Structures are given as structure tokens and as C-alpha cells.
Amino acid sequence: MILIFATFLWFGIHTSIIVFDGLNDELEITDTAVVLGNKVELNGQPSERLKSRLDRAAQLYEKGYFKYIIVSGGIGKEGFDEAEVMKEYLREFEIPEDHIIEDSEGYNTYMTAENAKVIMNEMEFGSVMVISQYHHITRTKLAFKKVGVEQVYSAHAKIFEYRDIYSLVREFIAYYKYFLK
């Protein structure tokens, strides 16, 4: 009984930290931003979750927080390259094409961090702002720090959905998977 109570207590505390961290953006001038991929609809358009991430990146780009944006994702079950779709969407904001860097091998958060680190090294970038849903921020920052990026800041997409409840449970488990990696 004590173990069950302790587990629920730990889950509650950790989930509260995830929510607090994710909703409290760390806006700093950085060398680049990384927008993590998400579902592309069957019509080839970004899902609402993905649009919200990209809209946030475009907003912060316009405010001068970063000059480059790395869009990272893989080819989803819908058959679209998330990074390509993300780049095309950002082009609608008149962001120069050479300021948007595609990572089509970011099949998960950790791969995105690894790939972004390679790109950052090649371009001599030292700082990054990660952009994702609020519940995804804490684990994403952990992944970037695990691959050796020291200056990691964050901004969350301005969207809330019922599926966030599931996502918070998932993030609790996934965080420790990355922590122990």
C-alpha cells in the first residue's frame, strides 16, 4: 500500500514539474531553434499540433530570438516527410529557405537531439531553443543535454488538447527512459 501511494505521489510531483517547466518558456536569443516533428495529415498538411509548433517558431523568429530553424521529423505512417512539410509551412511566413534546415531522420526526440547536435557542430552553433508541446519540453531538454548541448532554452506551442492527459503519463515514463540512457 505504501509503495502504491509513493508511486502516485512521485507521479504527481514529477508531472507537476513537467507541466510547470513546459509552460514557463525560457526565451533567450539563441543560435537556432529546433521544432520537433509531429503528425502530418493525409492531405499533406501539418496536424494542428504541428502547426502550433511551427506557428510558435515563426512568431519567435520574427521577434529575432534565432536566425535559423531546424525542422526535425521522420516519414510518418501517412507517407510524408515531416521535415519537408514543416519547411514548406514555415516558408509561408516568408522565412528564407536557407534559414530552415531539414532533419528528415528525427524519428524520435533523442534522434532529433543527436541530429541537431551534428548540425549545430557543423554550423558552429552553441545554443538552441526547443519548440514542442508543453508536456514534451522537459524530456526534450534532457535529450539535448544528454547529447552535449549545454545551452538549451524552450518555448511551448500554444495548443491544449484532451490527449495531453495521455501525453503526460507517457512523458513521465519516457523521461526516465531518457534519464537512464
Whole-number pLDDT of residue 181: 77
Whole-number pLDDT of residue 65: 98
Whole-number pLDDT of residue 154: 98
Whole-number pLDDT of residue 165: 87
Whole-number pLDDT of residue 3: 87
Single pTM value for the model = 0.93
Residue with cell 522565412: 95
User: What residue spans of 99-155 are helical by DSSP H?
Assistant: 109-123, 137-146
The series of mean pLDDT values per 10 residues for the chain, 181 residues long, is 88 93 97 96 95 98 98 91 97 96 96 98 98 97 97 95 86 89 77
First and final CA of the chain: distance in angstroms? 30
CATH number at residue 93: 3.40.50.620
| CA atoms in the 13 A half-sphere facing the CB of 165 | 1
For the chain, what is the domain count?
Answer: 1
The CA distance from 139 to 171, in Å, is 7
Q: What is the residue range of 112's domain?
A: 2-179
